[in-house]
Amino acid sequence: MCHTAVRELPAVDAAAITLHGTGLLSHHLAVSSPLARRAEELQRAVGQGPSLTAFRTEEPVAVPVVDHAGSAWPLFTDAACRIGVSAAFAYPLRTATATLGTLTLYRTHQGTRPTRPPALGRTCAEIATLVLLADRDTDIIEQLRATADADDINTTIGILAAARHTSTDDAAAWLHATAETTGRPLADIARDILTRYGHTPRDRP
């Protein structure tokens, strides 16, 4: 899918599909080139950038000129320019109930190239989402489920630590001990606790 986007969309030099979780949790599912991987890893390292923003807001993010976006993501902007990224267009991969990750398209040379997002960028994101969900027995689905589970477990640990006025290490230890004692999956217990505290667990594919 990433290679197809680069081949078929005008003025797109690299593409990445990344599964995101809360915080800095992410999994780089597919990239068209080392540059795309580096651009995604930069965002995870600094905690900001178009892919993360598109995931968090569930809206497409267009950055036609990266070095003009310094006020929004100063750490990402500086590093992205150094590796040669000149533009980025990030699209959330959304289902009816959840946002799974992002498809991000990158340009490496500005010059006289268009500043508008690729006309079919959003369509590519929709196709990528369908591809991800097409076969529920693939490793991709397991990665999606693992990301959702980790999100809920990490969120639960934070909630327990705050509610019990204890450290996150102690909260994590209590959660694991409860899972061992009851014989239930850790993620199921975490979702029960999230519901009890009025939080909505992430939907699993």
37 within some domain: yes
Q: What is the pTM of this model?
A: 0.67
For residues 102 and 90, the answer to whether their CB atoms sit within 8 Å is yes
**Which residues, 6+ apart, have CB-to-CB distance to 30 below 8 Å?**
1, 2, 16, 17
* pLDDT over 90, % of the chain: 31
Residues 160, 129, single domain; the answer is no
Residues 42, 70, single domain; the answer is yes
Rounded to 5 degrees, φ, ψ at 107 are: -115, 150
Among 42-46, 82-86, 145-149, the minimum mean pLDDT is found in 145-149
201 within some domain: no
- The CATH number that applies at residue 176 is 1.10.10
203 within some domain: no
47-76 in b/e burial notation, b at 16+ Cβ within 10 A?
A: ebbbbbbbbeeeebbbbbebeebeeebeeb
- 54 φ/ψ sector (left φ>0, alpha ψ -120 to 50, else beta): alpha
Supply the range of the domain harboring residue 79. 2-134
Domain boundary among 104, 134, 164: 134
List, for residues 98-114, the tens digit of each pLDDT value.
788 899 999 997 666 66
78 within some domain: yes
Residues 129, 145, single domain; the answer is no
- Which token pair is 4? 């197809």
Residues 10, 108, single domain; the answer is yes
- The CATH number that applies at residue 127 is 3.30.450.40
Q: With bands split at pLDDT 50, 70 and 90, how would you rate the model's confidence at 32? A: very high
Residues 72, 24, single domain; the answer is yes
Instruction: Count other C-beta atoms under 10 Å from residue 204's C-beta.
Output: 16
Residues 77, 32, single domain; the answer is yes
Domain count, the chain: 2
List, for residues 132-144, the tens digit of each pLDDT value.
777 555 666 566 6
Residues 151, 122, single domain; the answer is no
Q: What is the DSSP string of 99-149?
A: EEEEEEEEES--TTS--SPPTTHHHHHHHHHHHHHH-TTSHHHHHHHHHHH
Residues 124, 185, single domain; the answer is no
189 within some domain: yes
Residues 115, 168, single domain; the answer is no
| E-state strands within the chain | 14-20, 26-31, 61-63, 87-94, 99-107
Q: What is the largest CA-CA distance in the chain?
A: 64
